[in-house]
Every structure is written in C-alpha cells, then in structure tokens.
Amino acid sequence: MENTVVKIENLVKRYKETLALDHFNLEIKEGEIFGLLGPNGSGKTTTMNCILALLTYDKGSVEVFGGEMNPDNIEAKRNIGVVMQNVAVYDELTVYENIDYFCGLYVKDKATRKKYVDEALDFVDLQDFKKFYPKKLSGGLLRRLNIACGIAHKPKLIFLDEPTVAVDPQSRNKILEGIVELNRRGATIIYTSHYMEEVEQICTRIAIMDKGKNIALGTKDELKKMIKNTETIIIEAIDISSEDKKNIQALSHVYEVHTEGDKLTIKCSGGKHNLIRVLDYINERDIPCGRVYSELPTLNDVFLEITGKELRDKEA
Amino acid sequence: MQVFNTFFKIVKKQLPVTMIYVGIFLVLCVMMGSSQRDGAGSYTASSCTLVIVDHDKSEASGKLIDYLSGIHDVKYEEYTDEQIQDYLYYHKIDYVLYIEKDYGTTGELTNVKRPGTSVGIYVDNQIAMYEANMRALLTAGYSMEDAYALTLKALDSDGLVELSVGSAEKPTIYYYFSYVPYVIIMIMFFIITPVIVAFNKKDVNDRLNVSPITLRSKNMQIFLGAVIISIFVWILFIAMACLMGYSDFKDMLYKVALNSLGFTITGTAMATIVGNFGVSGDTKNIIANIAGLALCFLGGVFVPVSMFSKGMLAVAKFMPTYWYINTNDKIFEGGSMDDIAAGLGIELLFALAFFMVAAVVSKRMRTARSS
Amino acid sequence: MKTFIHNFKYTIKIIIHNKTQMMWSIVFIIALGTLFYASFGNIYEKDEMLHSIKAAVVIDDGSVKQNFDDIVANISLDGEESLLDITEVSGMEEAEELLADEKIKGIFYSGQGELKLIVKEEGVEESILTSITARYHQAVTVAAGLSKDAPEKIPDAMTMLLTGENKNIEKKLSDGNGDTYIQYFYNLIAMACLMSVNAGIAFAVGSQANLSSIGARKCISGAATLTQTVSGLLATVITQAICSLLGLIYLIIIGVDFGNQAGYTGLIILCGCLTGTCLGFFIGSIGGLSRNAKDVIGTAIVVGTAFLSGLMVGNMRMVVEEKCPVINKINPTALIADSFYSLEIYDTYDRCFGNLITLLIISVLCVFGGVLVGRRKRYASI
C-alpha cells in the first residue's frame, strides 16, 4: 500500500480579487514523479508554495508525510528539497560552497555533509566547476547548481518548479535524466512545468491545471483516453479539392479534417490502420503530396479539448 | 528625445521614494537652520553662563556675586564634579566659581573652566579686575559700599566700544541657506544617481548602443532630464524658505535663488558622475555621505573658513561649496550683483566641469563594458 | 549548535566576499577622518587655545597712548606672550579695511580723552579687547576718584590695580582631552557604526521568502529560523565592527587622540555596530514595505541620528539637550559618541556602561521586534 506523501483538500487561495486556487484537490503517493502541468497563471507555483507553507490560503488543508504542513514543522522540512523557479544561490560563494551551505541547513554532521555534497556535484556533473562563482556559469550550469542545492541533503520529497526554463537542450536532458534517477533512488518528485514534452517524458502521474482548478488527473495514457482524438494524420504540400476533403472526412474513425495552407490535418478517433486508409484514398485518387505522418495525441491536445486553449502561449 | 522621455518614466516610477528623500532632507535643512540662534541686535560683551558657589556668605562675597550677575547669567547650583565636566564640555556652562570660606579676609577663590580657553581667561580677567579694584579702594580707606560704587563706575565700559559699520545679525534664513549645499548633494545622490544607473545597466546600455542614438545625444538628454528634476527640487527649497521667513530675505530673494540654483545644478552634475560609474545600493549611500560631508566640511558649511589654517583655506577654494558659502555670506551682508557675480560664475564653471567629467566617465565605462 | 556555527561561518564568507561594500565602509572613516584632521585638527589650537589677538592702534592722544602702552605691557598670556598682536597701520582708513576683511579683531583709538574700541563681531576675542579698554577706563576712573579723596594713595592703588596678586586658583577636574573638536571624530565613528543598519536590512531581506529567492530557500530549510537569524546577525555585526575598528585604528595612527583604553573603545564599537545591525534587521523584517522603502528609512536613521548627535552642526546635541533631552538618551549615534567622551573624560565607567546598556537594550528590542514582525512565516504573496 503506497503511502500518501502530500494531500491537498479543498484548497482556496485568493490574491485580492483573483482566485488563484479554486477548491483544489490533490493526492500524491510515495515514489511517484507527479507532474503539475498548466499554462502560465494556472496556479502551479501557488500550489507548490502552499504545500511548502510559504503562502497563506483562505480555505482547505495541506498534509505532508501524514501531518499538517506549517512553517514550524521542522521534521517535515528536513525531508523536503526544493528547486525553485528562480535560481537561488549566493553569488558570493563558489559552487561547492553554495551546495555545502544549503546542505548544512539540513545535515549537521560534517563528514556526512561532505559526502553528500560530493555526490550532489557528481549527480549534476559540476565537479569541474566546483571552484567557480555563479556569475561565471552559463544558464544551464546555473540551473544544475540550483538543483544540486535543493537535493544535496537527499530529501524524500523533492519539488522542482520549472527547472528547465531557458536551459540548453543538453542540460535539459541531463536534468530530466537526473530527476528520474532521484526517483529511482527513492524520492517522491513533484514536477511543475508548462512544457508538456518533459512532463510526458518523466512523470508517472499528471494533473493538468487551469485557472486554479484540477481539470484532469491520471497517467499520460489515461489522460489521452479522456479525449476524442486518438490519432492525427498530417499531409504536407498537398493540393486537395473540397470534394476530396469531404470524402476523407467520411472515412471511418475520421471526425475532423481541415487545411492550413498546403497542409492537411486529419483527426481520428479510435480505430486501427487509419493512416493506411487515408494513404489508400490518396493513391487511388492520385493526389500529389509531400510528407505524410501520423501523431499520437499529446497532452496539449488533452488540454485543448478540455479548455479550448493551447497549453503554451503562441510565442512560447 | 527618447532617452529624455524614458528618463522621466524612470523618475515617475521612483517618485514615492524620491519624494520621501526630498522630504527628509528638506526637514533636515529646516532643523539645521533653525538650530542656530538669531542674533541679539546690539553689541554686548560676551555674556557667559557662570555657576557660583558661595561658601563665605559675607558682605564681600555678596558684592562680588552682585557684580558678576550684572554681566553674566549666574546659576547658584552646586554640581558634582561629573556634572561640571559634562556641562563645561558641552558649553552648557562656561565657568564655575567657588567663593571660599573667609573670602572677606583672604580673598581666596577657586575656579573650574575649560582649560586654556578664551572664555576662561575672559572671566578670570573680569574677576581679577574687580578684585584688584576693590582691594585698592578698600586699602585706600574706602568703605565696602563706596568701594563697590566706585568699582562699578570704574568697570563700566558702556559707550567705549562700538560695532563697525556693516555688522549686522544674520537671520535664521541665512543659516537655512548655509546648510542647503549638504542637503542638495545628498538629495541629488539619492534621486538622480539611481536613475542614471538604470540607464547604464548592461542590457539597457547595450540596447542604446546599437540604436541610432549617439552617446553624445544620450548624455545630453540625460543631463537635461537631471537638471529639470533638480530645478523642481530647488523650487521646493525656495518655497520652504519663503514659508520660513520671506520677509527676512525678500530684498535679496533673486540673488539667493540664483546662488542656490547654481549650486543645485553643480550637485546634480556630481550625482551624474557617480551614476555613470554604475554605483548603487549601499555603496552609493556611503559615497553620498562621504561627498556631502567632505565637501561641506572642506568648503566651510559646517565649520567656518575663518577657523581654517592657510593650507586648508587654499584647498577650500577648490570646493564648489566654498564659493557657494562665500557668495551666500556676501548676499546677506548686502552685497550687490557685481559682488556676487564672480562666485556665481565659479559655481556654474564647477557644474560645467562636472558634467564634462560625467560625459568622459560615460564614454570610458561604455568602452570598458564592451571590451 | 552545529547549524549555528555553519550559518555563522558562511554568513561571514558571504559578507567578506563583497569587498567593495566593506572597502567603502572603511573608506568612509578614512576619508572623512583625514579631512576632519586636516580641516580642524588644528582648530582647537586656533580657536579655543588662546593666542595673541590681532588689533590695530590709532591713538592720537599722547597721554592715552602712554597709559595704553603701560596697561598692555602688563597683560600677558601665561606670563610670556603678549595678549595683543599689534598690526601697524597708516591711519583709521587702513585699519577699517583690515577690520572689514577680518584680518584684525579690533581698532583701538582715542576720543574725548578716552580709549575707545571698534570691533566687527561679538566673539570672545572681541570681548577680551573690550576688557583692555575697560582696564584703561578702570585705572583712569580710580585715579580720578582717589585724586579727590586720597591722592596720596594713587600710586599704591595703581600698583594694586595692575599687578595685584591673583588669588583665584584654578582647579583641574580631569586630565582628559578637553578638545571639543574631538566630538566630530566621535560622531564620525558613531555614524560609521550606525551605517551597519544597511547590512541589517540586507540580512533581513535576504531571509524573507517574499523578498528574495534565497530567503524562500532559507525559510523552507530544515534549520530553525531563530538559529539562522541569531547566527546571521552575529556574523553581520562582527564584520561591520571589524570595518569600523580598522577605520578607528587609522585615525589613531594619524594622530587623533582616543585615549588609551583600547579594550573599552573596541567594546563601544561592537555595541554600536550591534545596535545598527539590529535596527536594520527590525526595519528589514517589516512586511508590506518594499526594499526601496526600507532603504529610505535606513538612510533617514543614519543621517538623522548623526545630525542630532552634532556631526554636522556642532552644538546640535546641546540644543537637543535643552529642547528634548530624551532624544539624546535614545539616539544611538549620540549614545555611541557620548560613550567615547565619557571614557575619555571621567574616571569611572558608570556613564559609559550606562550608554552601552541602553544600546544593548535597543538591540535586543529590535531583534525581538524583527523576529516577531518577520515571524508571520506565511506570506499573502511571494
């Protein structure tokens, strides 16, 4: 029986007139990598700060490790690690000193702490930079340092708030691999992001948030099954007549067809071999086209169907 | 005039903090000015605060006390040694006189004063003259009453001393304007410097550098913006002065206004130099305090230049504050525009020089950042 | 305890790394101290310690001149230097010009058989010149009086007037440095100590989740808030005190006399920096105020207390003592400066320790206040 690590019931939080959390409920089990996915302003960071007892809230309750979470709960705090959205390190200390300092707020024994700090440096692959000052590090390396400072003390529960923002692809992959490794070593992870690819890649269970509400909850497969769309077929560089479009729409399991310039998008719900059916039709009619490919639905599709909006703003 | 407009946008954003700084220093200036005592008007010998302790209580001691209380402000408290040290040090009292027992016969007195000071010797002198006079007359056979009456006549120096023409007591508003340099320097450092620092932040600066705005144009627009802000602050100071005592300086209002405006612009120019160095936060606060206090002490704002040695006086002349105070003194002594024109001109030259330095610093910092 | 030492050690490292900040704290004392020393390190000599007073003499009347010369010859400064430094002039016009330019303090001249004096201001030196005029008048009046009643007593009387034995003996209460301009140096060090209010504000802000990310990290850490606060504050106080001490050492090297009680002087500085830092901590902990607003309050306190203590206007502390003495009893800058003064002038430590205790009380109240106010722990928004 998995233990519940975090339990949120009926949480309501207002910032003046804005309702940031609207009767929010959540339960996170031990050993999960739990993703909180949602657009900017959906309440992800607010949820995290409420769990950490940094923010006041108007209604509801928050429990961590089975006990009420409040600022005086030092026992709970010792087992929590946080990687904040903003890099929170001292410019005046080296990489090593930063990790040592923050680890020292949890781990009193010097020998143990030294071991943990060295392991954290290995984990984020910053051994070569341990004597560098933060100002000399690139964005990606800074983020890695930020992570090291948050996890060095080997916490049982780790919060990561958008840890890959403005990070190069190499560092990003490193970070994601590291998170999975932490989980493999026994930590429960709560991961907030508006990058669905990351969440899909590593999270065992996902909650999609919008306007302070939990609008969908489950594994990625469960979430995808919630929506109509099971397959999207895209044909590029195609010149197709309205009649052909109608005919394709009439194929089985196809529920939506639209063109955008010379790109044709076909949405299917359920069924097998949808791509073969479409290709057969195109060959039969001898319609010239470019690349043809099929995509499985993404969490963005889930979000789009439920809310009518994109997960990410157009410019992101 | 994009830079100019942006300058004011930044100022607008910092307006609440700006107004608080201006308010604080304005109040400080008023307090400084009001703390100096208004002049008495007519000439009297320096009246000191004396403490007399009479252990003799004879006719002779009574006469001595009568004499001294006619000249000085006399207290009859018996203070402890600690209190005496304290009050003397802080100029609360100037002299303590103990009239010893049997003074009538022996003439013995004890005094405590600030060692080797003019005040101490002055009172010593007066007591010595009184003693000598009384003794001489008593020895010559006069009665106590007659000796005292003739002594009073002998020691009455009314009409013997006059003030030269042109000596006049300075009103409180004179002191207000005397302390203006300190508060102006502080205000400009606190409100102008941060705005200029904002312009010199790396990202903003880079954006400006790749735009078609030349460095010269950028600097001109910033300086113009700074001067306009400083004029607003200056108007507030003049308005406060008018509230404090318009009648005391209405005849010289335009001269005083010109002099203070000249220094305000100079203070602004100093603040832009520091801003171009990108100094902010606590470092800026410390530099502001150093600049304000140093220029004011060296220039004769807090300590009169008449106290300076020759060497220090030579150094003082390189301070814009010196010329401001010099001009201010001349204005309140009734000087004409011709008398004060030179001082005003020098202040404005300082302002020009500081602005040029600020421009050079701006160019150097830009080169340093891009290398 | 381990967490305390750990946080203490790292706070010191963080502060020391900010070399610019520390350097300017020391430069403040060095720059202004040097200036003070150069400007009026000699003023005590020039002003308070007595020197010959410059004056011009334009006496046409022969008998008046003779009597005047006799009297002046008998007035000396401690038996050696003459009290008057006579400036030669060609006539009244030149004398009046010198007086207007303040090159002389007064002009002696004769009128209606009397010695008269013109001065420009009402200072103490002018009053001494007046007393010379008075002496002349005294001698002439006594002689005139005696000539009617006892003319044979005139020579003895004149002798007694001019050369009588001085029975007014001075009693010295202390060997301490009576130089009142030393107050400027005391106030300078005191202001430098109070400037640690900025460090206190920075520390408080850096510990608050709603004002800095590092503050958020520290708030959710496994270390107790009180441990982090006390250790951090202590580290801040010590680094600030070291800066002030270095400045003080410089002043002593250049020749400013702070007495010979190094231990107690160091203690005063430590208490001063403690008060400044704790005051800053309290201000920095107040929620609802932006960082800028807190800096404004810090500046107002540093400059305001320095002004009320007499750094800018020398007699300000006495003015405050007359008008509102309670301010001097709680003004930290005044308390620090007064502690230096008491240490120098008095033989006992009562007053000095009294001031230090007041500073300690202020510090403790500020820390409690800061912890209480900042203890809301949860924020309405971050």
Residue of C166, C154, C149 whose CA lies nearest to B146: C149
Per-residue pLDDT of chain A (316 residues), as tens digits, is: 568 999 999 999 988 888 889 899 999 999 999 999 888 888 888 999 999 988 888 999 999 998 888 888 888 899 999 998 889 999 999 999 999 999 999 999 999 999 999 999 998 889 999 999 999 998 888 989 999 999 999 999 999 998 888 788 888 888 898 899 999 999 999 999 878 888 888 999 999 888 888 888 999 888 888 888 788 899 988 888 888 888 888 988 888 898 888 889 998 888 888 899 889 988 888 888 889 998 888 888 888 788 776 665 544 4
Q: Which residues of C touch B162 (CB under 8 A)?
A: 116-119
* Residue A202 sits in the same domain as residue A252: no
* Residue A262 sits in the same domain as residue A205: no
Q: What residues 227-266 of chain C have any CB closer than 8 A to a CB of chain B?
A: none
Helices (H), chain B: 2-13, 15-35, 59-71, 81-89, 103-106, 118-139, 144-155, 172-199, 202-209, 215-249, 253-276, 281-299, 310-316, 320-332, 337-370
Whether residue A302 lies inside any domain: the answer is no
pLDDT at A5: 92
As a whole number of angstroms, the distance between CA A46 and CA C72 comes to: 89
Q: Do B133 and C173 touch (CB under 8 A)?
A: no
Q: Which residues of C touch A102 (CB under 8 A)?
A: 217, 221
B167 vs A96, which has greater pLDDT? Answer: A96
Q: DSSP assignment of chain A, as one string?
A: -PPEEEEEEEEEEEETTEEEEEEEEEEEETT-EEEEE--TTSSHHHHHHHHTT-B--SEEEEEETTEE--TT-HHHHHTEEEE-SS----TTS-HHHHHHHHHHTT---HHHHHHHHHHHHHHTT-GGGTT--GGGS-HHHHHHHHHHHHHTT--SEEEEESTTTT--HHHHHHHHHHHHHHHHTT-EEEEEES-HHHHHHH-SEEEEEETTEEEEEE-HHHHHHTSS--EEEEE-S----HHHHHHHHHSTTEEEEEEETTEEEEEE-S-S-HHHHHHHHHHHHT---S-EEEE---HHHHHHHHHSS-SS-TT-
* Residue A150 sits in the same domain as residue A259: no
Q: Do A87 and C213 touch (CB under 8 A)?
A: yes
Nearest to C382 among A55, A77, A150 (CB): A55
As a whole number of angstroms, the distance between CA A295 and CA B178 comes to: 80
Residue of A286, A234, A237, A243 whose CA lies nearest to A261: A237
pLDDT at C42: 57
User: How many domains in chain A?
Assistant: 2
Q: Do A108 and C13 touch (CB under 8 A)?
A: no
Q: Which residues of A touch C202 (CB under 8 A)?
A: none
Q: Do C50 and B118 touch (CB under 8 A)?
A: yes
Under DSSP, is residue C52 helix (H, G, I), strand (E, B) or coil?
A: coil
Burial label, A246 (beta-carbon count in 10 A; 0-12, 13-18, 19+): exposed
Q: Do B154 and C142 touch (CB under 8 A)?
A: yes
Local confidence band at B38 (pLDDT 50, 70, 90 cut-offs): very low
Residue of B214, B225, B226 whose CA lies nearest to B363: B214
Contact A176, A202 (CB under 8 A): yes
Q: Which chain A residue shows the shortest CA-CA distance from C10?
A: A101
Task: Check whether B227 has a pLDDT greater than 60.
Answer: yes
Q: Amino acid identity, residue C143? A: A
Domain end among A225, A249, A268 = A225
Residue matched to tokens 């302390």:
B179
Q: CA distances (Å), C259 to each of B293, C310, C345, in order? A: 25, 21, 9
Residues in chain C: 382
Q: What is the CATH number of the domain that holds A134?
A: 3.40.50.300
Q: What residues 181-240 of chain C have any CB closer than 8 A to a CB of chain A?
A: 209, 212-214, 216-224, 228
Q: What residues 3-32 of chain C have any CB closer than 8 A to a CB of chain B?
A: 20-21, 24-25, 27-28, 31-32
pLDDT tens, residue by residue, B57-114? 999 999 999 999 988 899 888 888 888 887 887 778 889 999 998 888 888 899 998 7
Element (H, E) at B95: strand B95-99
Selection from A219-223, B2-6, B158-162 with the highest mean pLDDT: A219-223
* Residue A13 sits in the same domain as residue A142: yes
Q: Do C25 and B113 touch (CB under 8 A)?
A: no
Residue matched to tokens 């101290």:
C33
Domain end among A225, A248, A271 = A225
Q: Which residues of A touch C228 (CB under 8 A)?
A: 105
* Residue A207 sits in the same domain as residue A108: yes
Q: Give the distance from CA A63 to its chain's centroid.
A: 22
Q: Do B92 and C317 touch (CB under 8 A)?
A: no
Helices (H), B36-100: 59-71, 81-89
- Touching subunits of B (3+ CB pairs, under 8 Å) are C
Local confidence band at B232 (pLDDT 50, 70, 90 cut-offs): very high
Q: Which residues of A touch C218 (CB under 8 A)?
A: 105
As a whole number of angstroms, the distance between CA C300 and CA C334 comes to: 15
Arithmetic mean of pLDDT, B285-302: 89
pLDDT at B371: 64
Selection from A147-161, A264-278, B277-291, B333-347 with the highest mean pLDDT: A147-161
* C-alpha dihedral sign at C247, C248, C253, C255: positive
Interface of A with C (CB under 8 A): 15, 49, 52-56, 70-72, 74, 77-78, 80, 82, 84, 86-90, 92-93, 97, 101-102, 104-106, 108-110, 149-150, 153
Q: Which residues of A touch C3 (CB under 8 A)?
A: 104-105, 108
Q: Is C13 on the interface with A (CB under 8 A)?
A: yes
Q: Do C131 and B125 touch (CB under 8 A)?
A: yes
CB pairs < 8 Å spanning B and C? 277
Q: What residues 49-78 of chain C have any CB closer than 8 A to a CB of chain B?
A: 49-50
Q: Do B154 and C137 touch (CB under 8 A)?
A: yes
Whether residue A305 lies inside any domain: the answer is no
pLDDT at C50: 57
Other CB atoms within 10 Å distance of the CB of residue A140: 18
Phi, psi dihedrals of residue A6, rounded to the nearest 5°:
-130, 135
Q: Amino acid identity, residue C48? A: E
- Touching subunits of A (3+ CB pairs, under 8 Å) are C
As a whole number of angstroms, the distance between CA B81 and CA C292 comes to: 48
Q: Do C117 and B113 touch (CB under 8 A)?
A: no
Q: Which residues of C touch B99 (CB under 8 A)?
A: none
Q: Amino acid identity, residue B199? A: F
Task: Check whether B191 has a pLDDT greater than 90.
Answer: no
- Per-run averaged pLDDT (10 residues), chain C, 382 residues: 93 89 88 83 52 85 82 66 80 85 85 85 75 82 84 82 77 68 87 92 89 88 88 94 92 84 89 96 87 87 91 81 87 93 81 93 94 76 74
Q: Do C321 and B111 touch (CB under 8 A)?
A: no
Which is it for strands C53-58 and C106-111: parallel, antiparallel or unpaired?
parallel
Q: Do C303 and B186 touch (CB under 8 A)?
A: yes
* Residue A205 sits in the same domain as residue A265: no
Arithmetic mean of pLDDT, B147-161: 84
* Residue A51 sits in the same domain as residue A131: yes
- List beta partners, residue A36: A192, A207
Element (H, E) at C356: helix C350-374
Q: CA distances (Å), C63 to each of B157, C66, C141, C175, in order? A: 19, 5, 15, 46
Nearest to C171 among B46, B112, B117 (CB): B112
Residue to test with chain C: of A98, A101, A103, most C Cβ within 10 A: A101
Give the structural domain span for A240.
231-296
What was the ipTM of the complex prediction? 0.80
Whether residue A306 lies inside any domain: the answer is no
Element (H, E) at C336: helix C332-345
Arithmetic mean of pLDDT, B177-194: 90
Other CB atoms within 10 Å distance of the CB of residue A204: 14
Q: Do A104 and C10 touch (CB under 8 A)?
A: yes
Nearest to C14 among A53, A93, A102 (CB): A93
* Residue A189 sits in the same domain as residue A69: yes
Q: CA distances (Å), B38 to each of A67, B172, B182, in order? A: 72, 6, 21
Q: CA distances (Å), A159 to each of A20, A141, A179, in order? A: 19, 19, 10
Q: Is C5 on the interface with A (CB under 8 A)?
A: no
* C-alpha dihedral sign at C237, C239, C240, C245: positive
Residue of B296, B282, B259, B261 whose CA lies nearest to B183: B296
pLDDT at B181: 92
Average pLDDT of chain B is 84
pLDDT at B45: 47
Structure letter (DSSP) for residue C153: G
Radius of gyration of chain A (CA): 23
* Residue A21 sits in the same domain as residue A114: yes
* C-alpha dihedral sign at B112, B114, B115, B118: negative
Q: Which fold has domain C51-163?
A: D-Maltodextrin-Binding Protein; domain 2 (3.40.190)
Q: Do C312 and B293 touch (CB under 8 A)?
A: yes
Whether residue A135 lies inside any domain: the answer is yes
Ramachandran category for residue A218: left, alpha or beta (phi over 0 → left; psi -120 to 50 → alpha): left
As a whole number of angstroms, the distance between CA C184 and CA C280 comes to: 24
* Residue A43 sits in the same domain as residue A113: yes
Domain end among A209, A225, A241 = A225
Q: pTM to 2 decimals?
A: 0.80
* Residue A218 sits in the same domain as residue A196: yes
Nearest to A54 among C18, C224, C379 (CB): C379
Ramachandran category for residue B116: left, alpha or beta (phi over 0 → left; psi -120 to 50 → alpha): left
The answer for residues whose C-beta is within 8 angstroms of residue B149's C-beta and 6 or more apart is none
Sheet holding A33-37, edge to edge: A80-83, A157-161, A188-193, A33-37, A205-210, A213-218
Q: Do C116 and B17 touch (CB under 8 A)?
A: no
As a whole number of angstroms, the distance between CA B101 and CA B105 comes to: 9
As a whole number of angstroms, the distance between CA C147 and CA C153 comes to: 8
pLDDT at C86: 85
